Structure 1
Amino acid sequence: MTSSTPSQQFPVRGAAIALMATLLTLARDVRAQGPSSEGAAQPEPSAPLSPGEELALMELPFLDLMLPSNTQAFAPRPDHGVFDTTLPGYFRIPTTKVFLKLGIGATTAFTVSSKRLGTPTWFTTSTIPVRGQPFFHSPGAHSTATANPSDISLEMRGKTQLGPMKLLFTTSFAQGKPTFGFHPNYAYAQLGGVLAGFTDSTFADVDAYPSTLDFEGPNALVFTKRAVARYSHRLSHDKQRRMFLHVALEQPGSNVPTSAGEPRDMLPDGVVAWRSEGGWGHLQLAGLVRAVGIQSKDSKASQTVLGIGGNLTGAYHFSRKHTLLAGISGGQGLGAYLNDTGGAQYDAAMNAAGSLKAIPLLGAYAGVTYAWTHMLSSTATYGWLNLWDRDLEASLEAKRFRRSQYASLNLVAKPMKGVLAGVEGLWGYNRAIDSQSGQAVRGQLTLQYRY
């Protein structure tokens, strides 16, 4: 019988021996040609995404004005854009893809005014006493101190199959008097381009607000918060020049003299706004249509007039140090939307024939911010507002508002993030329907810490 080799008798064992020999040879070659396995470079783990990157948020192209009221950060954005995509201060809710932030702003303001005003803590020029009114001849300075502009906020952001999601609730305690009381600022939900809740009117433009220390701001500023249902559509996908179209239905609220009857709101207010923005700044044009009505207290009679107008606003950044902000608004039946006339029965009034008439108005303001250093800046602001209501004197009364001017200049220091200290001088002029007028000046010191 012929003898055979082990490999012939056991073919599997032979194949295994050959494979082991091949692997040993490859290992020897790798050891000879390259670094040892202990020193071999290991693949680096990928860097964790920031909250903004994880939520796919885009950075806003224009500057954050860092307003004391923080309205730019609180305001809803049509594509959920933010000024800082790292979302400082947010933390993830465990086991979810939702990020949460609790914000607090502690603000104290000291003021000294030349006259007693109807709103002691706010510099509302339409409340400056005119000749013939109480407190026109003030015996001396009037001082106030309040912390009621302080605010708290709770914000939630996440990502859904329908797009980014945002929920925000924030309230301040700001009142016209030094007392404390809830002053809701925002309470809204936003999913993609659809928004519902309590927020700035679509007719307003928070990115064009001058950075005044005075909580009220210029007389002709469109400043109102309402229940809003809004859809925003992006018209341009160019990151350097973004354009949007907003269509909204908003909470109505006819402001008419009590002598005319009870306010009657037939329909929600309708607003359409176009907006363009980029590194240079932004421009916004908004149009408003509303029905202003009254209902007689002792009969079924009612009257309704058309309120219609426009608001053109914008900001232009000459550089990161110089910014121009401006706005002009006009129309009829718009009194509820402007600072000096909001909530003061200036949408419409009865004429001598007993017919309801929408009050025409025109207002404009401009502000310039200049940064002296990286921590020191100034803002100068001027506003003008006029109502054509002289033929409505019998309904509104002779001492009611017709025209005003507003001016302010401040110096603000921001030595570190979240800390603000500033002084501001203000001047105001008020003219009544009967042509009597009054003026007032104010000095203000504001201290704030915000997280």
Structure 2
Amino acid sequence: MAAPAALAQSTDSSADLKAEIAQMRQQMQAQQQVMQKMQQRLDELEAKEAAKPQATAQAPSQPAKPPVVTPTSELEAAKATQYHPPSAPAGVSEPLPDGYVRLGDTGNLLKVDLVAQVDAMADNTYMGAQDLFVPSSIPVRGAAFYATGWRSNMSAKQSVFRMDFRRDTDYGTLKIVYKNNFFGSGTGDMPYNLQYFYGELDNERFTLLAGYNISAFTDIDVFPNTLDYEGPNSFTFKYGPQIRFSPILYKSGDSLLTLPLSMEKPNADITTVEGFNTYSRRPDFVFGLRWEAPSWHIQWANLWRDLRVESATARTRGTNGYATQLTGTTKLFERDSVQGWVSNGRGYANFLQDISGLGLDAAFNTQGDLRGIRARGWGAGYTHGWSSDLSSSLSYGYLRISPQSNLLIDQTLPKSTKFGSLNLAWQFSERAMVGIEYLWGQNIDLTDARGQGQRIQTTLRYDLNP
């Protein structure tokens, strides 16, 4: 009887053990599933943690990266690699695309440039324009202040504030340019003077400019690198309201041929007699051709003017003015360049640096007729880069007028003037330049009386965003 009872107890224990083993297997499978899910979660977290440092490293560089403005032409891209000497005038040429900032989501880009400059000058005689070196203001023998001796002056009028706006449109790149210095006609040391305020639409077929700018007759790209603001006496330089259209006639690689056409405010500069005022029936017109390559260019410009006077009694007198000019510049070697210009015409004296504002566009003759005054001028400049941060520039200019003998004009006015300059400029910092320049000038009036003047000028310039 004891054996069957023991067998029954053993069977019950084996069944319980099998049940426990099956239960444990189910628990282990459930734990494995939990562990697999936990491992997947851990892998996901580790992948996210590994990606965070890379995103953090890239994030600061995105907003800090300056916006890139694509040049509107291959020619602009080529210009970006050209050597810019330390002696080059600040804010004269159009800035390269670098340095612009994006104005929010408006699509507008802005570049602001501030130039703080001081010039210290020492002259060996009196000059009418103390802040500028103007040979026609040098006193001649027998005139007041002739050979009066050395004197000094300081000026900060070459300081500049400039803003360049750009944006892309359906018709090309739209540019709005504003610039002023402090060579105004007001009183004080820093009278305001507007230089640029114009808009320009630029695309692959043409440029269209409207506003206040340098005349299309002026080729600012051949202006020598003088530290003196006035520059050579024979350079043609005039600002005014205008509309300018420059279609591209031909393009070959990085070079192009354009046809500058402009209509400009006339501003006739005439020696009048009592009771007469100046006016013009039509604007000044400029027609030219310009061939521009990455390292050189040549330009031929022609000017037509209408010069007139009228009195309160409706008496009028008039004559025509005209001029032609050939200009050009080319790169030599790695850091050298040469500039040149020659102009000739009648009734365009207001465009010539040295005699602008002297009433030499036209004058009355003894018969009471208005006659344009013939003028001509030429000049050249050479810039040598001793190194990437040291340069010298040499320039010379000659100017002459040939009025008819019976014109009613002041005989103390200049008949011819000469100009020469030599400088050394050091770009001691990316945004700072110091230089010294020697200037010489000669003035010969209509009676053939002569006078000479010399100046030594030192310049310190800080350029915030060249």
TM-score over 0.5 (shorter chain): yes
The residue that corresponds to 1:122 in the other structure is 132
Q: 1:422 to 1:151 in 2, by over 3 A?
A: same
Aligned partners of 1:392, 1:418: CA distance in 2, in Å?
Answer: 55
Q: 1:387 to 1:210 in 2, by over 3 A?
A: same
The residue that corresponds to 1:149 in the other structure is 158
Q: 1:54 to 1:391 in 2, by over 3 A?
A: closer
List per-residue Cα deviations over 1:65-89 (Å, max 9, x = no partner): 452232112xxxxxxxx6x44x22x
The residue that corresponds to 1:273 in the other structure is 288
The residue that corresponds to 1:187 in the other structure is 197
Task: Say which of 282, 290, 295 aligns to 2:297.
Answer: 282
Give the alignment's Cα RMSD to 1 decimal: 2.3
Deviation at 1:409, TM superposition (A): 0.3
Task: Say which of 427, 445, 449 aligns to 2:458.
Answer: 445
The residue that corresponds to 1:9 in the other structure is none
The residue that corresponds to 1:429 in the other structure is 442
Alignment coverage as a number of residue pairs: 396
The residue that corresponds to 1:415 in the other structure is 428
Contact 1:105 1:449 in 2 (8 A): yes
Aligned partners of 1:416, 1:218: CA distance in 2, in Å?
Answer: 28
Which stretch shifts more, 99-108 or 172-181? 172-181
The residue correspondences of 1:242-257 to structure 2 (distance < 5 A) are: 242-257=256-271
Aligned partners of 1:392, 1:128: CA distance in 2, in Å?
Answer: 26
Aligned partners of 2:354, 2:371: CA distance in 1, in Å?
Answer: 20
Aligned partners of 2:361, 2:83: CA distance in 1, in Å?
Answer: 33
Q: What letter is aligned with 1:265?
A: S
The residue that corresponds to 1:354 in the other structure is 368
Deviation at 1:418, TM superposition (A): 2.4
Q: 1:415 to 1:137 in 2, by over 3 A?
A: closer
Aligned partners of 2:166, 2:150: CA distance in 1, in Å?
Answer: 47
Aligned partners of 2:120, 2:188: CA distance in 1, in Å?
Answer: 10
Contact 1:364 1:385 in 2 (8 A): yes
Aligned partners of 1:172, 1:434: CA distance in 2, in Å?
Answer: 37
Q: What letter is aligned with 1:229?
A: I
Secondary structure of 1:126's partner? helix
Task: Say which of 143, 149, 168 aligns to 2:177.
Answer: 168
Contact 2:136 2:414 in 1 (8 A): yes
The answer on 1:159 being equivalent to 2:173 is no
Which stretch shifts more, 63-72 or 343-352? 63-72
List per-residue Cα deviations over 1:250-306 (Å, max 9, x = no partner): 01111011436311111100001211111331101100001011113x521111111
Q: 1:191 to 1:270 in 2, by over 3 A?
A: same
Contact 2:67 2:102 in 1 (8 A): no
Contact 1:386 1:404 in 2 (8 A): yes
Which stretch shifts more, 60-69 or 397-406? 60-69
The residue that corresponds to 2:19 in the other structure is none
Secondary structure of 2:354's partner? coil
Secondary structure of 1:53's partner? coil
Deviation at 1:131, TM superposition (A): 1.8
Which stretch shifts more, 378-387 or 91-100? 91-100
Q: 1:375 to 1:64 in 2, by over 3 A?
A: closer
Contact 1:55 1:158 in 2 (8 A): no
Deviation at 1:323, TM superposition (A): 0.7
Contact 2:234 2:379 in 1 (8 A): yes
Q: TM-score, with normalisation over the residues of structure 1?
A: 0.83
Aligned partners of 2:228, 2:253: CA distance in 1, in Å?
Answer: 34
Aligned partners of 1:358, 1:167: CA distance in 2, in Å?
Answer: 37
Structure exhibiting the larger radius of gyration computed from Cα positions: 2
Q: 1:317 to 1:134 in 2, by over 3 A?
A: same
Task: Say which of 384, 403, 410 aligns to 2:416.
Answer: 403
Aligned partners of 2:164, 2:184: CA distance in 1, in Å?
Answer: 24
Task: Say which of 71, 87, 91 aligns to 1:70.
Answer: 91
The answer on 1:100 being equivalent to 2:113 is no
The residue that corresponds to 2:46 in the other structure is none
Q: What letter is aligned with 1:98?
A: N
Runs of 4+ in 1 over 3 A off after TM superposition: 47-50, 54-58, 60-66, 175-178
Deviation at 1:344, TM superposition (A): 1.7
Q: 1:238 to 1:302 in 2, by over 3 A?
A: same
Q: Which runs of 5+ in 1 are unaligned?
A: 1-37, 74-81
Q: Which runs of 5+ in 2 are unaligned?
A: 1-49
Q: What letter is aligned with 2:338?
A: L
Secondary structure of 1:51's partner? coil
The residue that corresponds to 1:197 in the other structure is 211
Q: What letter is aligned with 1:317?
A: K
Task: Say which of 332, 335, 346 aligns to 1:318.
Answer: 332
Secondary structure of 1:336's partner? helix
Q: What letter is aligned with 1:263?
A: T
Contact 1:150 1:174 in 2 (8 A): no
Q: 1:56 to 1:368 in 2, by over 3 A?
A: closer
Which stretch shifts more, 63-72 or 424-433? 63-72
Contact 1:285 1:312 in 2 (8 A): yes
Aligned partners of 2:354, 2:83: CA distance in 1, in Å?
Answer: 26
The residue correspondences of 1:222-241 to structure 2 (distance < 5 A) are: 222-241=236-255
Aligned partners of 2:304, 2:241: CA distance in 1, in Å?
Answer: 16
Q: What letter is aligned with 1:70?
A: G
The residue that corresponds to 2:40 in the other structure is none
Contact 1:334 1:361 in 2 (8 A): yes
The answer on 1:134 being equivalent to 2:144 is yes
Aligned partners of 2:453, 2:145: CA distance in 1, in Å?
Answer: 11
Q: What letter is aligned with 2:323?
A: G
Q: What letter is aligned with 1:159?
A: D
Q: What letter is aligned with 2:295?
A: W
Contact 1:407 1:426 in 2 (8 A): yes
Contact 1:92 1:98 in 2 (8 A): yes
